[in-house]
Structure 1
């Protein structure tokens, strides 16, 4: 039985979607989607309840820098029964699609 990872282009993520950013703290501080929940990849398993609560009944869009780490997390979350989707191309694609980013201080930012 094969598994196809659910994937979406950054520009196709709906406004107001539930986002999970799995990058490291320094990457997050440099620029992130304002509405994203930040849980570094190494903390995902231990913070699954927090992720599940953040997602609620909604689809969860998982993002990292270019899409590799978020793909791993998306596969794990799908195995846990969540409706999770990998954001193809990560934050680089997010910015290229013209999606807003803020810095740790909440100011508009460009990667």
Structure 2
């Protein structure tokens, strides 16, 4: 497996108009702030978007974006396997905003926590629940052990099963009409 090409925010900002920017975060994360001109195609819908992304890539370079650069690198790898070249934004929207570049937020967009924060809340709550319930019923402590083991596995493999589950919650899912509109725009 090859490492996808990565741009630092200053490089991407200097030539942002040359890229078709695809934000692979959940719709809620996208609404909390995205690069100017970015289209939202959540990572778990990437396979559906392959024809539209292939069309967009034929007109110019795809720049894949997420919060930290991990999901966008995964997207680049999946696109490369489908014969679609793409590059990733190193450090994601966090690095972009950290360097003072603008993030756009739709008016009246619901406030949705970033996925990393949602994972920390869920994991922490489950650990606390396992410990609290373990004072009354000792086997409940295994819940805390399972979550801790999952976090270690997540760090070691740079994946996150809990994020994949949380991404399926209604506030993290795209409306079908939004995704279809995005795909039509990319194919035109």
1:1-111 mapped onto 2 (5 Å cutoff): 3-13=2-12, 14-16=15-17, 17-105=19-107
**Pair 1:23–1:12, CA change in 2 (3 A):** same
> When the two structures are superposed, what TM-score results if normalisation uses the length of structure 1?
0.85
Q: Secondary structure at the match of 1:45?
A: helix
> 1:58 touches 1:83 (CA, 8 Å); kept in 2?
no
Unaligned runs of 5+ in 1: none
- How many pairs were matched up? 107
> When the two structures are superposed, what TM-score results if normalisation uses the length of structure 2?
0.52
Greater Cα radius of gyration, structure 1 or 2: 2
- For residues 40 and 85 of structure 1, the distance between their equivalents in structure 2, rounded to whole angstroms, comes to 16
- For residues 46 and 67 of structure 1, the distance between their equivalents in structure 2, rounded to whole angstroms, comes to 21
Q: How large is the RMSD of aligned CA atoms in angstroms?
A: 2.1
More strand by share: 1
Q: Secondary structure at the match of 1:47?
A: helix
Unaligned runs of 5+ in 2: 109-113, 115-188
**Pair 1:55–1:36, CA change in 2 (3 A):** farther
- For residues 41 and 15 of structure 1, the distance between their equivalents in structure 2, rounded to whole angstroms, comes to 21
Q: Deviations over 1:26-51 (max 9, x none)?
A: 10111111201110011000111122
Whose relative contact order is higher, 1 or 2, with alpha carbons under 8 Å and at least 6 apart?
Answer: 1
Aligned position for 2:127: none
